[in-house]
Homo-oligomer: A and B are copies of this chain.
Amino acid sequence: MNRVSSTPPDWASLPRSTPGIAAPEAGPVYEFYRGRRVLVTGGLGFIGSNLARRLVELGADVVVVDSLAPDCGGNPFNLADMRDRLQVHIADVRDREAMDALVAGCQVVFNLAGQVSHLDSMVDPFNDLELNARGPLSLLEACRRHSPDAKVVYAGTRQCYGRPLYLPLDEAHPNRPTDVNGVNKLAGELFHLVYGTAYGLRTCSLRLTNTYGPRQLMRHSRQGFIAWFVRLAMEGRTIQVYGDGRQRRDLTYVDDVVDAFLRAGASDAADGRVFNLGGSEPIALVDLARLIVAIAGRGQVELVPWPENRRRIDVGDVYSSYAAIQQALGWQPTTPLAEGLARMIAYYRQHWQHYVP
């Protein structure tokens, strides 16, 4: 079997994306996917579905698997208009027989299946362990046995760092997660690296920060605050921000995240590596809430005291350095925050009933 990475592109010379446009149509990283069989786990979810759609546009042979686990981000509507252009399998990555069949013949695997709610991980830590530790391990076992030449790109999280000892967070920052989700996501990432070292699988991980954009779950508030803020504003309700609202975050628009996955999946320079993503200049949550209200043209912002269960797992100011992936893969975020939010809000205006019950 040929290794898919035999002709790595020259990353430093790749054209930068134009702001507001997800990625250029040309360039070796995008040509790379034409005709290749690619698996996206968690592919009916927020980031997975945006990635799958982009892969279809690039001419890849796309296979999506998603378990539609309750309260996770899987939503069949996310790919409903693409049904005839890709395969969608409803299966759990922990289902050995299903995964053995699905990974066979895949040249790139984007491993995005998982549970992202920090709060849910504290309420049911065993479910989080199943979805975020056993899940990735199952996928890796399937790849080791049935697709040992595949490239595997994992969706990690900056949550593995915990409360920052310094800012911006770089990849050398100690891992001291503050919730069960952070521990399990870190374990999932480390399994990928172990399978790289021990079995020669070509694996890497992207540590995502706060991703936002179309197709994000907004049925409930437990999967990241951005979609919830957007929903509240669009409903004309009040966005409550905890404390003084000055805690700062960086945000990445989903098309930029998709671009990072595409680059990591196509490049040998990513093998065995862990890369932070990053985004806009860090913004205070109260300022973000006000920006969302301004763009939505509805809603209002209110400061409220910290609820105890959230205060205990909050991590204060958090933002990441993306210098390492910029150097290795030429990636950088390109979508200005106001523009990304405007596109997100426009999407939900059009498709509201598919995201809000």
Contacts and interface: CB of A to CB of B under 8 A. Distances in A.
Indicate how many identical chains form the complex: 2
Interface stretch (A75-83, A122-130, A319-327): A122-130
Contacts of A125: 137, 141, 191
B193 A176 contact: yes
A172 B175 CA distance: 10
A6 B314 CA distance: 29
Contacts of A238: none
A194 B179 contact: yes
Contact of A194 (B126, B177, B194): B177
Interface string A166-202: 0000001011111110111011001101100110000
A133 B126 CA distance: 10
A137 B198 CA distance: 27
A22 interface: no
Contacts of A138: 126
Nearest to A187: B187
Given A183-B191, A190-B183, A198 B312 contact: yes
A134 interface: yes
Contact of A126 (B134, B193, B197): B134
B129 A134 contact: yes
A184 B187 contact: yes
Contacts of A104: none
Interface string A68-106: 000000000000000000000000000000000000000
Nearest to A134: B129
A193 B160 CA distance: 13
Given A194-B177, A194-B180, A198-B122, A133 B141 contact: no
Interface string A127-164: 00100011001100100000000000000000000000
